Amino acid sequence: MEEAFGGEGSTNERAKRSTATPSKNKANRTMLLAMMLQVLAPGRLSWQDIQKMLPSFYGENPHKAIYRDIATLADRVVEQLPKPDDPSLAEWCVEQQHHHKLAITYDRQAKTFGLAQSVLSIEINEDEARAFVALQEGFTPGTPYAEAVQHLLRRWEWLFSEKSRLLVAQKRKRQARPVLLPLSPVVDYQKHQETILLLDAALEQGAYLSFAYTALVQNWDDEPQSYERVEPYELEYRDGHWYFTAYLFEMNTFLDFRVDRMHPGTLHPHNDRFYPGSRQRPRVKIRYWVSPMLARHGSISARLQEQRVEFLDDDQGAIVEGYARSVWWARKLLLGYGELVKALDPPVLVQQMRQTAIAMRGLYEDEQ
């Protein structure tokens, strides 16, 4: 009677249920679920995300099985889990830890799960706490990969024990001036962040690039120079600026570009590729004299490749030689030492330094 009353539809429903792939291996899948929540924290997961990551464990109708596994890990059904911003979350975390259960929260609006505290914690000492604060305060907006570094630091901090968190907070409140890292950019590179990431990707993938550029000797509103299909060579952050080096086929040479002078939105990768690292930039061998004041300490900063230092007798200074990436970089290096160095080779570097010195002297003579 019941089968006749149910009709063909009921038989089909039972057939669908019997052929659907069931969830299986609860012990293993629950352990993997806990590991996923830990590894991806402090990120959050929906039940759909969990199914995608563990498809072989949750079958075709995973919703209820996932909710049961969450309840097993937290010892509380999903509807009773606290929200991520619950005022009493800290106390609940302590209680969960006492009972060896995961502190899982449930965002009812986004329908996502996440851990409120790490299953595992790490202890750091005072020196590590100082280093952590220095990194947090050194990678401010505009510095190299600031957003990515801060995101990574937040993930690390999430793993700290309560004692370690308090230690970091204590070091952040120090009365003395903090340790300063020379990472602050000269200009605001936040609006060039997309350009920097595209340049980095092109270097890694070996993609030719095209872009518009305005040199420093020109006004920003002047018509920019277009560079088509250049081969990326290097991306470097130095002295508060991002520099991009590329090989130009039509000029058969390498050029250095300052990233903040590249016009945002004009950088485009090409579909054809080259093998990264196959081309080497010719280096420039330079020699310069160092004053006795710098040389008498017996230690000269290694600023050149294959650098060699010859200390002269009778406190006459020292001769430094090595390879610089270009004459432009060599000039920039020597100008940083002011009157304490003198260029000796190559002649083109000596000439540029002489012209710069004459121009600087003229600026001060005009004031007399």
Burial 280-310 (b: 16+ CB within 10 A, else e): eeeebebbbbbbeebbeeeebeeebeeeebe
Q: Do 133 and 214 belong to one domain?
A: no
Q: Do 107 and 25 belong to one domain?
A: yes
User: Do the Cβ atoms of 190 and 141 come closer than 8 Å?
Assistant: yes
User: Residue 71 has what pLDDT?
Assistant: 93
Q: Do 161 and 210 belong to one domain?
A: no
Give the domain extent around 201: 190-273
User: Residue 145 has what pLDDT?
Assistant: 83
Domain holding 359: CATH number? 3.30.70
Question: For the chain, how many structural domains are there in total?
Answer: 4
Q: Do 139 and 242 belong to one domain?
A: no
Is 50 exceeded by the pLDDT of residue 10? Answer: no
- From the number of C-beta atoms within 10 Å of its C-beta (0-12, 13-18, 19+), residue 193 rates as middle
In a domain, 177, yes or no: no
Residue from 79, 4, 86, 71 nearest 33 by CA = 71
**Span 11-56, pLDDT tens digits:** 444 444 444 455 568 888 899 999 989 888 888 999 999 988 888 8
Distance, in Å, from the CA atom of 195 to the CA atom of 260, rounded to the nearest integer, reads 9
pTM attached to this predicted model: 0.61
User: Residue 119 has what pLDDT?
Assistant: 84
Q: Do 7 and 100 belong to one domain?
A: yes
Q: Do 14 and 102 belong to one domain?
A: yes
Is 60 exceeded by the pLDDT of residue 132? Answer: yes
% pLDDT > 90, the chain = 47
What secondary structure letter does DSSP report for 278?
A: -
Q: Do 46 and 134 belong to one domain?
A: no
In a domain, 145, yes or no: yes
Please identify, among 242, 273, 304, the residue that sits at the C-terminal boundary of a domain. Answer: 273
Is 70 exceeded by the pLDDT of residue 288? Answer: yes
Q: Do 147 and 77 belong to one domain?
A: no
Q: Do 12 and 89 belong to one domain?
A: yes
Q: What is the 3-state secondary structure (H, E, C) of 140-185?
A: CCCCCCHHHHHHHHHHHHHCECHHHHHHHHHHHCCCCCCCCCCCCC
**Span 133-168, pLDDT tens digits:** 888 888 877 777 888 899 899 988 888 888 998 999
Give me the residue label for tokens 């650098």: 307
Kindly list the strands in the beta sheet with 253-258, ordered across the sheet, starting from the edge strand earlier in the chain. 253-258, 241-248, 225-238, 207-213, 268-273
What's the token pair of residue 240? Answer: 């508060």
User: Residue 2 has what pLDDT?
Assistant: 37
User: Residue 368 has what pLDDT?
Assistant: 57
Distance, in Å, from the CA atom of 362 to the CA atom of 120, rounded to the nearest integer, reads 66
For the residues 62-87, what does the mean pLDDT come to?
92
